[in-house]
Structure 1
């Protein structure tokens, strides 16, 4: 049957069907038909992938090319296109039919629509968008001005609706990034809120002109999607999905926030609730690729992609993706596609214009192949205009946001893996929960200010905002009066009547304002909340005023950012009235996942080589610059990475070594060393680590990289910096610059005492010292004892041959012995069960069994590095739970160590880092719950643990049943303490 010619297009249908060892071609247009031309299956000459493996299928080559931003894509794309073109247009009758149809289209002022129907899946997966133009063999047919290449659905089961719609078009934007529930969950998490903001900013001009109305669903469970679809007046005409997907389906959320893969068939049934749906755009991964199937045994039509199934069952047009589209390309596609679509352009033309924009972009364009990733699937209808270009739009006035941001430094609105925290913060400050106080806790530079700024950006415009630093308020003569003045100004801007200041005292005026504030939706955010506990004049009164705010019912919510728990503010509140968000530093896995989706060029390097740069490349902007330098360099050799990093200007400037200050710290040179009393730090900071031993002098940078790699291996966020302040850079640890030179392996007693003094003066939390061939003196043991009583962890080791050495250790020293790779104790560190030394044994070399062979110099082994490994374990545990004391960290390491056999019997133990970390993490999870039941998202926000680490441990605790249990109340899944000693969380 001759296809009908729709207005605006001259159509040419081409079918490519494989049967056995041959491909059968047919073509049909108004100018004639060609049937059943037998062709040989094409042979592909494809380059190896980035790992060097052989690539057999062009679909796999395209996936590898786009995922890694390969700059050699252009020439290979022409080779693949030539094979496809020779297969189809190498048939003289078909190329003649093409030319005739093209001529008719040009004469009538229309465009040629080439529909490709390919089967089975192996043939359908070929990149048909790379067909070359027979008239211009060096150009792609899909980019030609007068031709569109689309894919034909293999069947259709719904009525066709093609009448243009009057504006505005209703677009349902679904964004899905569920929680990662385990390390095996390899899908790259993305900043859902940032991508939503980017896409909406691209669409905002269309919204302002009244051409487009966008509804966003960023927690897409099946129930919430059904509700969204049923509530929209006039229904949704467009559906845009951005999130995780695979050839088997698209990923949505369960009600508890965990991910679920909804099979393609069920997703299509869900879309059938949209009878006016004209177009679905699936920007997820590989939604245009079908799952693998047995080609010979599968009945027609064989395995289908998500795009194919939805074209068959739910929607006349679907745009799917052949590979993982980088986010920057997704933004370009969204902007130019919807601009053209709302201007009245046909869908096929809108996609062509978007392809041209992508190909012409500096970062996503030639020689990359991002433009070829989207493919348009059509059913029985034409990919014509959806909107009536002649109808007049009615712009709607945008709501005005009311807010004051004072004394706040704002950076980029970009995050990685902060989804649980953002959601919790938005729920609290928008008044969707019973919580009245949002408490954001984190060490310096963990992003507290940025998180609160992002939360405010996501609130409804009808909520009035005040974002101010406590430092600014306390700089005023009367902080409470200044706060009242700002809140009164905010309320007047919102149109509410407020009581005038008059002759009221500051406290009375504030209390009367709170009565008016109960009717005004408002979010009041106080940064630098630690200052509320200081002795600055007015701090106590300001804290009391904020406490009064949290005690009032109404629509106002308070958020406070601090480096530690602000018990004075939270104690008067019930557990349900407080929500705490605990922030940690970014971890390398989170940065790596962000690189995968945003900087595909860097994925040409092995992840291990990039992770070694994490110590110096500390900001996302630097990774972007590194990607640009790597693309310009073009070789992608790992050994060139250090040179590229040097071009960024990082990792080269080091802080000068401080002069030894032992005599100043201890007093007179002849005095017995004394350790001064510790001064409590005003804020929590990164841990500080001091190391001394044979072969460690001059190797601080190398050790910092090694320790950072250990943290990466064990899933602890943050980095270690060497010899420079860790504030604002690390949030994990700083390796202090104090060093000690060993003469013939035996340092002098005075040098040891001086080193300990310097480390103590620099506020070292963990001190690692290897005595080498020496034995500790009574004076040194006394110093170690005082350091221990000062809240520091002192880890010692040595390769003594004299048996009395270990009995000389003080009980305050955490003694470490070295163990061989085969598990036997070394002769340098004999075991003395009578005195309980060493406390634990650890590997004498940082190897594959410990931390992935982190160093190249063979002398980085021995008792020093066994002690260093124990120090790293202590640091990781301590960073996981900063409420632990040094002695509690030590006890946990000993408790979780694994027993090992000894020749002399006893209870020797080998350090088990993973067991210690898991024990600490479980305690953090249990402690976060307290006496109040929490939902999964709330629990994850209240702990600094990443979801892929926390969720498996939580499931294990639930399965054990002795500490946490899972309950369901009113259809909501919650977690609560199972023991009887759960006290109030805010005591």
Structure 2
């Protein structure tokens, strides 16, 4: 959200698509109503912990005005569609606010309200205030125990605060993790700035402040109130507080400020609140935008840390704290007081489990590699059967050499192609000259040298997403799968209407058989199907427990590898439709790949891992891991390398025989697709940053 001459530009990106509008928001009029709104919040509760702090109707009015101003026509449709998608996947939608206008940042967006949608949105899903900065957030791998540093600060001139009660509640909530050695809770021994300085030298992962805060209107900056040596008030402004916290090593990834007005912004300074200023130092801050009562502070802290201890993301932990406040006193408005500021892309700041299956002994990998050359030599010159075996015919394991590439080794593609849209799916033409992308409503084919679109088709529907895309083996046809429940196949050399194949739900994945005569499709209706492109008839229908997210034929065409939201990948005999093997993960399986030599398969999952398995025994050979869920996996044409792409923006290249890391790249947004060029010299990746990245591989010319 940013200011324009005629209003405020609202740009939305979502799982269901993108949209932009200019909204007329009376920001200053809403800001004038904040004092009466804070009075309503306090009036709905009890004694406040605010310093000199000055019923539901004011909150509903402000929240309703904010909702109606932003959630107009297309944006509201995207919100409803995205919420439905999240529910279908068993997940909760996250609403991330990137507010670039200071006056809008000062508004209480946590109050967004629509009666027909169930009331306050923040009680249904997390609302996060994303702070955009140039400094990237380096991932912090936390070795147990997770260290929490608490501080209670009560200057004598202020009203008493039930700090000991809150301190006890925090300790009780964390007691199971403390006993297990996974969490350590330490307390600053005094209430002065020097006491905090001394304690921070030991380092911490979370800093939790219990005390008082206020806003300095003259300096337009939030501050916390510490004690001096005589027990009097000694305020510290947010900028200086950030510098003080930065002395910690390790530095905290989360700061919790259970003090009033620490989430309050000035309408002329985007970073004026205590919480936003601290974003220069820590990735996530939980603060309070209004004065908060003692009881509410205790209830919120207990529920918040219980959720974190249950391995929930910080945004969901904040929502859990809101629910606890609402449940305790359902006519209280204090559940809207907490605010989450975050600049880290992943809301799961800490992983309390991180349990992964061990890598199998190296001797297994060495044995497979030792057999590979003999197997290729034995089959060299033999013509692989391109037909699907007849029913009842056994599909013998095949290890076929990679097909000869028709790609020109003289091609030098552009390093980046700006598509202007989220790239949801991507495919490289066998010649290497063209790249196809799928986005919201758009299918486009790009020239890798000029970076210009050479061919495109636009789909109907407001938010139809092109979930999958694939070139035929000869490069003349293009298949897609989309959220209008259809798979389409175009012949790119003509203007004929596409062939269409229908499913009962979104089509998430498509793949050609090596003959180019068959197409496999996978859908959210929990089926994978194989179609005859000549007759349009369905040859196979393979039932899964949940949505099918990825599939690929084996190089000889006798098997089909599928990945599902039921946390498994499956191997199917394409002649009989019989299941031959399962590969298990800890979350949705979102990508699958067969090595071109037919010896290995790779699967990747939302559980942050990719696994390479033997294509005869289906035994795991090794796993590799990212910091976020994996969206894509691909083998190089010579089967020697494996590429993975993650929702945390990371792209990695690994040795396909051992899992040794060869290359690490980081992009600004989630990576949805990765692929090698047909000659193996370049790696292609794309996703939510809207750019096709083409990177020369360091060892590609060996």
- Determine which structure has the larger helix proportion and give its number: 1
Task: Please give the TM-score of this superposition, normalised by the length of structure 2.
Answer: 0.45
Q: Which has the larger radius of gyration?
A: 1
- Determine which structure has the larger strand proportion and give its number: 2
